[in-house]
């Protein structure tokens, strides 16, 4: 009988940040006797430029079933579009070999769009985590909605996203609001203390410290070089006794340029340190030790509020997303960034705020639903999605 078969659940990951979010979900699937975990890695995980982070996945005890090479060494929209095409080809072959019962995709990266397209044509049902959000300053917005439309099962992180999915015409029976997997990481991860962290990653914390991540705002009219110049100019104006810790940009169009300019900025400044990839445990541990998180990463909205640290969210990349009271908004202008950072530095930590993205039980909530749905015959047709 179908109900007695172990169902193959295939999880795709293309970036260090995405893997950090998926980690506990993968562990829950792996531990379930009725499920078989399959893992496909792609994108930045396979690039020396971004740290070859597939090795972290293997070091965590996971077996990688397929590697889909798709990332061109290009910093242009043309290069990204070609990478998407290569990804569709690679995922078509990988999914044909693995034949999963369900493909699990998180978020809104272009690598994940490739996987969704290949799965759609192969008639492999997709479970999409994080659909229904809105980020008006990046093409992630359109990619996220496209993946949602191609998916059969939906795990949004908040009630507003649920309503948005329903307005997109998605059957409410296929939507399950489980919160953010990022909160699971916070609840279930043992964080390093300051002394161990300094030794582990070779830093010296100053009296005041900032953790900075800036990605291209791909729908912004301002060129990526000008975007990062405004931020770096603001940081240069701060007291040079403030520690500045950067994690580098992603592989979106303009990302490599931003990363190179950050590296150049930090080269002659002893209060700066740049990391290609910190890994989840070290990244979360860093957040607790700094006075504010600065930039435009979704982490500043999803995870940072639960760690009692203020976020300075710059520009429009995350525009439209729910945010906690600890998130300070500012325009992508030097004077506004300085003002917002100073406001964050004046806030007394740890902050106690309500995080709108859940309590940290997303992975444990998602797995039973996946199991129930994949044990059915033609479950996608039954739901009418």
Structural domain contains residue 354: no
The pLDDT of residue 385: 43
Total number of domains constituting the chain = 2
Pair 169, 194 in one domain: no
Q: Is the pLDDT of residue 383 over 80?
A: no
Q: Which two tokens stand for residue 352?
A: 């106690």
pLDDT band at 220 (very low <50, low <70, confident <90, very high): confident
Pair 13, 120 in one domain: yes
pTM beyond 0.85, yes or no: yes
The pLDDT of residue 265: 96
Structural domain contains residue 183: no
Tens digit of each residue's pLDDT (9 = 90 or more) over 22-32: 999 999 999 99
Q: Which two tokens stand for residue 313?
A: 């969210």
CB-facing half-sphere around the CA of 187: CA atoms within 13 A: 16
| Residue 347 to residue 295: CA distance in whole angstroms | 17
Q: How many CB atoms lie within 10 A of CB 47?
A: 15
| Residue 246 to residue 169: CA distance in whole angstroms | 40
Pair 259, 326 in one domain: yes
Name 67's bridge partners: 41
Pair 13, 79 in one domain: yes
The stretch 330-340 carries a mean pLDDT of 97
The pLDDT of residue 381: 53
The pLDDT of residue 95: 98
Pair 143, 20 in one domain: yes
Pair 203, 173 in one domain: no
pLDDT band at 376 (very low <50, low <70, confident <90, very high): low
pLDDT band at 2 (very low <50, low <70, confident <90, very high): very low
Structural domain contains residue 31: yes
Q: Tell me the residue ranges of DSSP E strands in 102-247.
A: 102-106, 126-129, 153-155, 208-213, 242-247
Check which CATH number belongs to the domain holding 204 and give it: 3.40.50.2000
Residue 260: CB partners within 8 Å, gap ≥ 6?
A: none
Average pLDDT score over the chain: 93
Structural domain contains residue 143: yes
Structural domain contains residue 199: yes
Tens digit of each residue's pLDDT (9 = 90 or more) over 290-302: 999 999 999 999 9
Tens digit of each residue's pLDDT (9 = 90 or more) over 228-271: 999 999 999 999 999 999 998 887 888 889 999 999 999 989 99
| Residue 150 to residue 153: CA distance in whole angstroms | 10
Between 1 and 211, residue with greater pLDDT: 211
Pair 18, 71 in one domain: yes
Pair 75, 20 in one domain: yes
Between 224 and 212, residue with greater pLDDT: 212
**What are phi and psi for residue 315, nearest 5 degrees?**
75, -160
Q: Is the pLDDT of residue 3 over 80?
A: no
Residue 335: CB partners within 8 Å, gap ≥ 6?
A: 234
Q: Which helix (H) or strand (E) holds 19?
A: helix 16-31
Structural domain contains residue 184: no
- Give percent of the chain above pLDDT 70: 96
Smallest CA-to-CA distance from 352 within 299, 292, 306, 293 is with 306
Residue 130: CB partners within 8 Å, gap ≥ 6?
A: 106, 107, 108, 144, 155, 156, 157, 161, 180
Q: Residues 37, 13: contact at Cβ < 8 Å? A: no
Phi/psi region, residue 81 (left: phi>0; alpha: psi -120 to 50; beta: rest), is alpha
Smallest CA-to-CA distance from 252 within 74, 87, 54 is with 74
| Residue 175 to residue 166: CA distance in whole angstroms | 8
Tens digit of each residue's pLDDT (9 = 90 or more) over 142-191: 999 999 999 999 999 999 999 999 999 999 999 999 999 999 999 999 99
Pair 194, 173 in one domain: no
The pLDDT of residue 51: 86
Structural domain contains residue 162: yes
The stretch 117-129 carries a mean pLDDT of 97
Q: Interhelix angle for 110-122 vs 77-98, to 10°? A: 40
Lowest mean pLDDT among 47-56, 79-88, 337-346: 47-56
- Expressed as residue numbers, the domain containing 246 is 190-345
Pair 376, 322 in one domain: no
The pLDDT of residue 380: 53
Pair 212, 299 in one domain: yes
Q: Is the pLDDT of residue 378 over 80?
A: no
Pair 172, 289 in one domain: no
The stretch 107-132 carries a mean pLDDT of 97
CA dist 6 to 37, 236, 379, Å? 10, 56, 16
């Amino acid at each position: 009988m179908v109900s007695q078969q172990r169902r193959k659940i295939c999880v795709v990951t293309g970036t260090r940040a995405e893997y950090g979010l998926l980690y506990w979900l993968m562990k829950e699937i792996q531990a379930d006797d009725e499920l078989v975990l399959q893992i496909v890695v792609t994108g930045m995980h396979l690039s020396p430029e971004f740290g070859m982070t597939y090795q972290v996945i293997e070091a965590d005890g996971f077996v990688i079933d397929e590697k889909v090479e798709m990332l061109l060494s290009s910093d242009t929209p043309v290069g990204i579009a070609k990478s998407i095409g290569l990804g569709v080809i690679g995922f078509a072959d990988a999914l044909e070999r693995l034949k999963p019962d369900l493909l699990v995709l998180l978020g809104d990266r272009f690598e994940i769009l490739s996987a969704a397209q290949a799965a759609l044509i192969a008639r492999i049902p997709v479970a999409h985590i994080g659909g229904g959000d809105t980020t008006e300053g990046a093409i992630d917005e359109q990619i996220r909605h496209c993946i949602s439309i191609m998916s059969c099962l939906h795990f949004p992180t908040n009630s507003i996203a649920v309503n948005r999915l329903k307005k997109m015409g998605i059957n409410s029976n296929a939507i399950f609001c489980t919160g953010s997997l990022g909160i699971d990481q916070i609840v279930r991860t043992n964080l390093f203390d300051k002394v161990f962290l300094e030794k582990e990653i070779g830093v010296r914390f100053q009296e005041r410290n900032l953790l900075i991540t800036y990605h291209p705002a791909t729908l912004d009219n301002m060129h990526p070089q000008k975007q990062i110049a405004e931020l770096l100019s603001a940081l240069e104006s701060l007291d040079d006794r403030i520690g500045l810790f950067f994690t580098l940009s992603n592989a979106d169009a303009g990302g490599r340029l931003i990363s190179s300019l950050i590296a150049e900025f930090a080269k002659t400044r002893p209060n700066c340190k740049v990391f290609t990839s910190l890994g989840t445990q070290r990244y979360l541990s860093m957040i607790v030790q700094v006075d504010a998180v600065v930039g435009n990463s979704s982490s500043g909205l999803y995870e940072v509020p639960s760690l009692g640290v203020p976020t300075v969210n710059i520009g429009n990349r995350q525009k439209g997303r729910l945010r906690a009271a600890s998130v300070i908004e500012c325009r992508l202008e030097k004077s506004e960034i300085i003002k917002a950072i100073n406001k964050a530095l004046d806030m007394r930590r740890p902050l106690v705020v309500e995080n709108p993205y859940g309590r940290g039980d997303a992975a444990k909530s998602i797995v039973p639903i996946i199991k129930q749905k994949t044990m059915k015959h033609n479950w996608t047709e039954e739901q009418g999605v």
